[in-house]
Amino acid sequence: MTRIQIEHETLYEYQTEVELAHHLAYLQPLTSRWQTVQSATLRLDPAPDTRSQSTDAFGNTRSFFTLATPHSSLSVQALSVVDIMDRYAGADLSKTPAWEDVAEALNYALDRPYLAASEFVFPSPYVPRLEVLRRYALESFTPRRCIGEASYDLNRRIHRDFTYSSTATDVHTPIMEAFEKRAGVCQDFSHILIGCLRALGLSAQYVSGYLITQPPEGKPKLRGSDASHAWISVYCPGVAGDWLELDPTNNIIPTDQHVRLAQGRDFGDVSPVRGVIRGGGEHTLKIAVTCEQVTS
């Protein structure tokens, strides 16, 4: 069991005062058999006029808040402590079923029990169904290959074929543009991997969260120097919980160093902070994340 502490601060500074704002935040980590939230606090400055919390359709905790008092800046600070188990320790991907059998089970049939995982087979706003992604995926998904090994091989190929570049794309870059550039960031690589899997009739989720990073040897860890991260989860009977997580940015299966924040169809479902404001003009955005292992 690994205990991790996360500090995530989002700071908006506006050109003119915001008169009214409605915001939605996904900043409380998920709770599961492998991840326990010990504490989670959301600090807002200025204090909101109304505030509520609920669970969305994907099991994520979401916070809604409204500010009706004019303000020139907004600070959203999430402080969390979670305990994480290495979910896939000892997993044998060769023992998973053939990918065609999984795809067939996810197809709708009148006399077949409904599989909840089939919800993530369909295209979504950030991940359309593209033939070019299906052709790219088939190099890994050869006939009767087990889904665990095929998915991990596809994850490896994306890591190999694509260059990490924070300037190649932005949050709204279409998946096809990132695929053609063969460059992007974790959000792009995750969307591409999801698109490849769904193009084959498989079920895949987008996972947002954090990954513990290590400073250069001999250097202290700088506070606020980390960043949000993203990876995917593919429906894979035979592994823990029947979902196999894959991190194409780092070519690994997530371990107890990955903190799961929220899950959905794509980035649009789990954006950490979003909102609608009246006023404000131009604004600047600063994000500072610190993610570190602590003693229990």
Helix axes 147-161, 99-106, angle to 10 degrees: 100
> What is the pLDDT, as a whole number, of residue 111?
82
Residues 186 and 63 in one domain: no
Residues 64 and 8 in one domain: yes
Enclosing domain of residue 55: 2-85+271-294
Residues 109 and 255 in one domain: yes
> What is the pLDDT, as a whole number, of residue 214?
74
49, 67 in Cβ contact below 8 A? yes
216 vs 160: which has the higher pLDDT:
160
Residues 260 and 123 in one domain: yes
Residues in Cβ contact with 176 at an 8 Å cutoff, skipping those fewer than 6 apart: 130, 132
Burial of 148 (0-12, 13-18, 19+ CB in 10 A): buried
Residues 219 and 262 in one domain: yes
Residues 174 and 63 in one domain: no
Q: Is it the case that residue 114 has pLDDT exceeding 60?
A: yes
Q: Is it the case that residue 55 has pLDDT exceeding 80?
A: yes
Residues 281 and 266 in one domain: no
> What is the pLDDT, as a whole number, of residue 109?
81
- For the chain, the domain total comes to 2
* Average pLDDT over all residues of the chain: 94
Residues 166 and 46 in one domain: no
> What is the pLDDT, as a whole number, of residue 110?
81
Which pLDDT band holds residue 249 (cuts at 50, 70, 90)?
Answer: very high
Q: Is it the case that residue 113 has pLDDT exceeding 90?
A: no
Residues 171 and 234 in one domain: yes
Q: List, for residues 140-155, the tens digit of each pLDDT value.
A: 999 999 999 999 999 9
- CATH code, domain carrying 266: 3.10.620.30
Average pLDDT of the segment spanning 26-43 = 96
Per-position b or e across 187-220, b if 16+ CB within 10 A of its CB: bbbbbbbbbbbbbbbbbbbbbbbbbbeeeeeeee
Give the HSE-up count for residue 75: Cα atoms under 13 Å, Cβ half-sphere: 9
Q: List, for residues 93-102, the tens digit of each pLDDT value.
A: 999 999 999 9
Residues 266 and 276 in one domain: no
> What is the pLDDT, as a whole number, of residue 224?
57
Residues in Cβ contact with 61 at an 8 Å cutoff, skipping those fewer than 6 apart: 26, 28, 30, 40, 53, 54, 55
> What is the pLDDT, as a whole number, of residue 242?
97
**Per-position DSSP letters for 257-284, written without gaps between them:** TEEEEEEESSHHHH-SEEEEEEE--SEE
> What is the pLDDT, as a whole number, of residue 108?
84
Query: First-to-last CA distance in the chain?
Result: 10
Q: List, for residues 251-282, the tens digit of each pLDDT value.
A: 999 999 999 999 999 999 999 999 999 999 99
Residues 257 and 282 in one domain: no
- CATH code, domain carrying 48: 2.60.40.2250
Q: List, for residues 200-244, the tens digit of each pLDDT value.
A: 999 999 999 999 887 767 666 656 557 899 999 999 999 999 999
Percent of the chain past pLDDT 90, that is, above it, reads 89
> pTM value?
0.94
> What is the pLDDT, as a whole number, of residue 251?
96
Residues 215 and 97 in one domain: yes
